[in-house]
A = this chain, B = another copy of it.
Amino acid sequence: MSEKITNEHTVWHEPTVHQKDREKMNGHKNCILWFTGLSGAGKSTLAHAVEDNLHNQLVRTFVLDGDNIRKGLCKDLGFTDDDRTENIRRIGEISNLLMQAGVITLTAFISPFIKDRQLVRQLVNEGEFIEIFCDASLEVCESRDVKGLYKKARTGEIPEFTGISSPYEKPENAEITLNTDEMGINDCVEKVIEYLMERGMLDNLQ
């Protein structure tokens, strides 16, 4: 006779599969690669380029960015200070879940406030939150202005635009700093991959 769920001895809700089991299966450790910086500093470009490199090494990855967050999970949020903070809080929580699910999670959000980034760091274990500062000058970002946002910020069409009318608080102790005024994409990607390798994050890849 098969055991019934009604049998009190078979009632259990605790997970039997943990992050460590997934890391073993996948052959790599998990972490959050948190890209932060001004609009136009290269966050999204670099997150996707690093993902591409990792995927080719059979690493499980996922990029969270405005495209898949603002249109979905956070579509109820605007751009007030409170909403920005709630936005980053939710992104932190999902990043944590994705990481537990065995995925190296790359996030590409301006995330201008130190306290919000700190909050995400505190959600996870030491070494699992890797802050990557895309350090570009306002001048260079504004001159790129890929999406035409700086122009709108200067005319006041977009209020509270980071770097123009709202502050960007630089990371004080980012794990990795990429000077994207000077460095090319390949060099930036290499620096991130080297960081992961030096810490044994990719050690058991087949």
What residues make up the interface of A, taking CB atoms closer than 8 Å to B?
1-6, 8, 10-17, 21-22, 25-26, 42, 44-46, 48, 51-52, 55, 58, 60-65, 67-68, 72-73, 76, 86, 90, 93-94, 96-98, 100-103, 123, 140, 144, 146, 180-181, 183-188
Q: Are B15 and A63 interface neighbours, CB within 8 A?
A: yes
Chain B residues, Cβ within 8 Å of A76: 86
Measured between beta carbons, the chain B residues less than 8 angstroms from A98 are 97-98, 101
Which residue of chain B is the closest to A14 with respect to CB atoms? B48
Q: A5-B185, A6-B181, A16-B51 are in contact. List 6 more A-B contacts (CB 8 A).
A: A5-B183, A6-B140, A64-B97, A72-B96, A98-B101, A103-B103
| A48 and B103 form a contact (CB under 8 A) | no
With both chains docked as a complex, state the minimum distance between the C-beta of A59 and any C-beta of chain B, in angstroms.
Answer: 9
Number of copies: 2
Residue of B nearest to A143 (CB): B6
Asked whether B62 lies within 8 Å of A97 as measured between CB atoms, the reply is yes
Residues of B within 8 A of A68 (CB): 97, 100
Chain B residues contacting A48 (CB-CB under 8 Å) are 12-17
The residue of chain B having its C-beta at the shortest distance from the C-beta of A76 within the complex is: B86
Is B51 within 8 A of A15, CB to CB?
yes
Complexed CA–CA distance, A5 and B179 (Å):
11
